[in-house]
Structure 1
Amino acid sequence: MSTNTADQDKIKQHTVVIAGGGAAGISVAASLHKRDSTLDIAIIEPAQKHHYQPGWTMVGGGVFKPETTSKPMASVIPGFTSWYKEPVSSVDEEHNQVTLADGSTIQYQALILAPGLELNWDGIDDLKQALGSNGVTSNYQEGMASYTWEMVQNLKSGRALFSQPPMPIKCAGAPQKALYLSADHWLRTGVLQNIDIQFHNAGAVLFGVPDYVPALQSYIEKYGVGLNYQSTLVSVNGPSRKATFRRTDTDGNTEDREIGFDMLHAVPPQRAPEFIRQSQLANEGGWLDLEDDTLRHKRHTNIFGLGDVSGTGNAKTAAAVRKQAPVVAENVIAHLRNQPLTAAYLGYGSCPLTVENGRIVLAEFGYGGVLQPTFPAWVNDGTKATRAAWFLKAKQLPALYWYVMLKGHEWLAKPARRSV
């Protein structure tokens, strides 16, 4: 009997439970509170630091200082929420409850899943051990972007390899951004002609939305980059400075090729967190199975999701979260009030491609690659490299992230409407 009482003491109850305290979780909490300040909201997030991850590429290019890209989680988690600092162990969608790693249970009326994704470093043999020495780096690893910048500054000649894994990944343009900013530095310091730059992309095209390819291709040619499509990094030997890539031809045949390097910027394959991908909440690819427009789970009406864990066909970027959060907030409240879901997300994502220090190709698009520019072409033509887009990325977006988006101020993020 005493055991049952102890178990009951571990059960907490909240109206809305949010799994994840990253950009998605905190933004949607703020948007919910903005609409109904009486809501009882809980956030589950074990991390003690909150990172502005779009800034890591800029650190790797010598533009941002690393300390500007993170804050203590306690300073970012909204004070109106209950904060649970244990990881999620499992979701029991039939009984409307979440179990944490310490065995405690939280019950919900509505659940919002925003745990982000998982970097699968073990998906490339020996990459994890190689990181941070012998010229092997990755802006995707916390704290590693400073090493990227160190390598870029020190490299005066030799071979620099940049890899991109199979999709989906967070910020699909980030592997290229590292390449462009590095090459721009080598050009400006007069050593570019001494460096063999290669881009190995597991995909078959430079960028998934054709409208942006011409501008990017012009920079590939400017920097003399060797393009290798359907070429996937499969292993790294740091001490010998060699990387193995698996090339797939048009008939599906594969061939492994070992390439020596002086610098390697590697990006790991990515996947949903284990408690999602190994549950009934996942789609066939292991991502959270959501309706494209409402962002509600396809089989569980009181479960919603947003951010990188989503199985929807949008780009996994912070800009996508900015448009998703108001949609989820509106629809969660509509669900709680037994009203129809009228807010719709149209797949917006933004990828500011830093093609040089001072210019950016601002790719903005939705489902199916349909262009969704925020500004008219006379302000910023996103299909070209512009200084206006650089100013937005380098000077304004960090403040907009910390003080607008995470605070529930939905600037240029009004949900679309769906007929019901």
Structure 2
Amino acid sequence: MGQHHRVLVIGGGNAGISLAARLTRKNIGDVAVIEPRETHYFQPLFSHIGAGAAEMAEAVRPQADVMPRGVEWIRDAVTDILPGENAVVLAGGGRVTYDHLVVCPGLQLDWDAVPGLAEAMAGPHGSSNYDAELAPKTWDLVRNLRSGTAVFTQPPGPAKCAGAAQKIAYMACDYWREQGVLQDIAVALVVPTPTAFGMPDVDAELERKMAEYGMTLLTSTTLAAVDADDRTVVLAGPAGEREVPYDLLHVVPPQSAPDWLKNTDLPASGDEGGFVEVDPETLRHRRYPNVWSLGDAAGTTNSKSGGALRKQVKVLAKNLVGALRGQAPQARYDGYSVCPFTLSRGTAFFAEFDDAYRPRPSYPWLKMAKERRWQWVMDRHVLPQVYWHLILKGRA
């Protein structure tokens, strides 16, 4: 006979753990989290690891250590969701039924979406800070490069903290300048958008830093293919495709919802990304009122980030608690997101905005899009501690 839980959460990452912790703090009992992985990562630190400014040990904990007290951990993977039956199918063959379901499995990295990309990541000159095993490799490539061409790419479409493609580029340039070799390295930053970011003050600060480093910005351009043997990439831009050689390639891969989720009835019809169809304000499914979603796999309109997720957790927790008491959703998520830009290995700034890229500063009296030391300290040292000791405990 299968299990049943009052609240069933799919995904034991930031979204699932912080939500489960917040629900238990609101005295909601019988909460279970489905998560197959034994290791939990704080992924924002991966950029610092790739730049030699952090160690992987700081970004990892055993999954058992972050599971909230009183929450059941189902150590299995999900293969299907049957919302009409209020049931989830597990890879191990079991079924779990629920009163309410929260879907937050995160995104999958689509390495095969770009021809040759997977081979390049396995080769000696390609890396990505989006993979725990590759982030230390990024630092090896950065510190060993003394001349040549470095290419950093950002993918089109939804991605978790897509700006991380730029963070490592700036920190690498800072290191090369410190080593006295920056003038011998041609650095290209490839972005799919018409500008570096999409907000005038943020674009101005980023372009100022690019000019300082002598970087080349390629806008409205995407990675079309990679040839790891010849160490070349094909870039598709406004003028068509062109081939560019590389000695170091750092890629943020295309991303989408997990394949198993795409095949369920939860995404909206025609959504190739497979994101869960929710009201972007209440985070409740549009067709199944006892299904909810937040984080990277949710079909919301915001830029996907940990800062966005922190706001979503508070909204969903309030609305779910209300639903358990027979009330309509009252809390609303306003599309807020935030992207920290590390402009060197010791300075940064935070871009805060909504889903229309309008400024949403936490401190309206302070110009946030300005390079500062203390903002780097926040990103590198303060936020990891906030994550482990407050966010995952349902306290922030």
TM-score above 0.5 = yes
Listed one character per residue, the Cα deviations across residues 256-276 of structure 1 (whole Å, up to 9, x for unaligned) are 322111101012110011122
Q: Show the counterpart of 1:415.
A: none
Q: Show the counterpart of 2:374.
A: 388
Listed one character per residue, the Cα deviations across residues 128-169 of structure 1 (whole Å, up to 9, x for unaligned) are 122143311111112211111111111111100111110211
8 A contact 2:167–2:342 mirrored in 1 = yes
Q: Show the counterpart of 2:282.
A: 294
Listed one character per residue, the Cα deviations across residues 373-418 of structure 1 (whole Å, up to 9, x for unaligned) are 223544xx211111221121112000000000000102xxxxxxxx
For 1:152 and 1:342, locate their aligned partners in 2 and report how far apart those are by CA, in whole Å.
49
From 22, 25, 47, give the equivalent of 1:34: 25
For 1:72 and 1:346, locate their aligned partners in 2 and report how far apart those are by CA, in whole Å.
33
Q: Show the counterpart of 2:13.
A: 22
Question: 67-76 or 366-375, which moves further after superposition?
Answer: 366-375
SS at match of 1:385: coil
Which 4+ stretches in 1 moved above 4 angstroms? none
Is 1:145 the equivalent of 2:135? Answer: yes
Matched residue count: 393
From 59, 67, 90, give the equivalent of 1:69: 59
8 A contact 2:154–2:190 mirrored in 1 = yes
Q: Show the counterpart of 1:348.
A: 336
Fraction of identical pairs, as percent: 37
SS at match of 2:84: coil
8 A contact 1:123–1:234 mirrored in 2 = no
- For 1:393, give the aligned amino acid: D
Give 1:295 deviation, angstroms: 0.7
For structure 2, the residue ranges without an aligned partner over 5 or more in a row are none
Question: 386-395 or 91-100, which moves further after superposition?
Answer: 386-395
Listed one character per residue, the Cα deviations across residues 277-309 of structure 1 (whole Å, up to 9, x for unaligned) are 222211333211111111111111111111110
8 A contact 2:154–2:163 mirrored in 1 = no
From 310, 315, 319, give the equivalent of 2:303: 315
8 A contact 2:162–2:252 mirrored in 1 = no
Question: 216-225 or 76-85, which moves further after superposition?
Answer: 76-85
SS at match of 1:291: coil
For structure 1, the residue ranges without an aligned partner over 5 or more in a row are 1-8, 250-254, 411-420
For 2:341 and 2:133, locate their aligned partners in 1 and report how far apart those are by CA, in whole Å.
21
For 1:370 and 1:297, locate their aligned partners in 2 and report how far apart those are by CA, in whole Å.
26
For 1:133 and 1:156, locate their aligned partners in 2 and report how far apart those are by CA, in whole Å.
19
From 27, 35, 43, give the equivalent of 1:53: 43
Give 1:86 deviation, angstroms: 1.2
Give 1:221 deviation, angstroms: 0.8
Q: Show the counterpart of 2:248.
A: 263
For 2:259 and 2:123, locate their aligned partners in 1 and report how far apart those are by CA, in whole Å.
29
- For 2:266, give the aligned amino acid: L
For 2:132 and 2:377, locate their aligned partners in 1 and report how far apart those are by CA, in whole Å.
25
Is 1:161 the equivalent of 2:151? Answer: yes
- For 2:93, give the aligned amino acid: G
Is 1:127 the equivalent of 2:134? Answer: no
Is 1:281 the equivalent of 2:266? Answer: yes
- For 1:280, give the aligned amino acid: D
Is 1:170 the equivalent of 2:160? Answer: yes
From 196, 209, 222, give the equivalent of 1:219: 209
For 2:52 and 2:243, locate their aligned partners in 1 and report how far apart those are by CA, in whole Å.
30
SS at match of 2:85: coil
For 1:132 and 1:191, locate their aligned partners in 2 and report how far apart those are by CA, in whole Å.
26
From 85, 94, 97, give the equivalent of 2:87: 97
8 A contact 1:215–1:361 mirrored in 2 = no
SS at match of 2:142: helix
Q: Show the counterpart of 2:312.
A: 324
For 2:68 and 2:200, locate their aligned partners in 1 and report how far apart those are by CA, in whole Å.
40
For 1:373 and 1:232, locate their aligned partners in 2 and report how far apart those are by CA, in whole Å.
30
For 1:215 and 1:203, locate their aligned partners in 2 and report how far apart those are by CA, in whole Å.
16
- For 1:266, give the aligned amino acid: V
Give 1:213 deviation, angstroms: 0.9
8 A contact 1:198–1:227 mirrored in 2 = yes
For 1:138 and 1:223, locate their aligned partners in 2 and report how far apart those are by CA, in whole Å.
21
TM-score of the aligned structures, taking structure 2 as reference length: 0.96
Is 1:402 the equivalent of 2:384? Answer: no
For 1:62 and 1:315, locate their aligned partners in 2 and report how far apart those are by CA, in whole Å.
27
TM-score of the aligned structures, taking structure 1 as reference length: 0.91
8 A contact 1:56–1:140 mirrored in 2 = yes
SS at match of 1:344: coil
8 A contact 1:354–1:361 mirrored in 2 = yes
Give 1:210 deviation, angstroms: 3.1
- Any residues of structure 2 matched to 1:80-91 within 5 Å, and which? 80-91=70-81
Q: Show the counterpart of 1:112.
A: 102
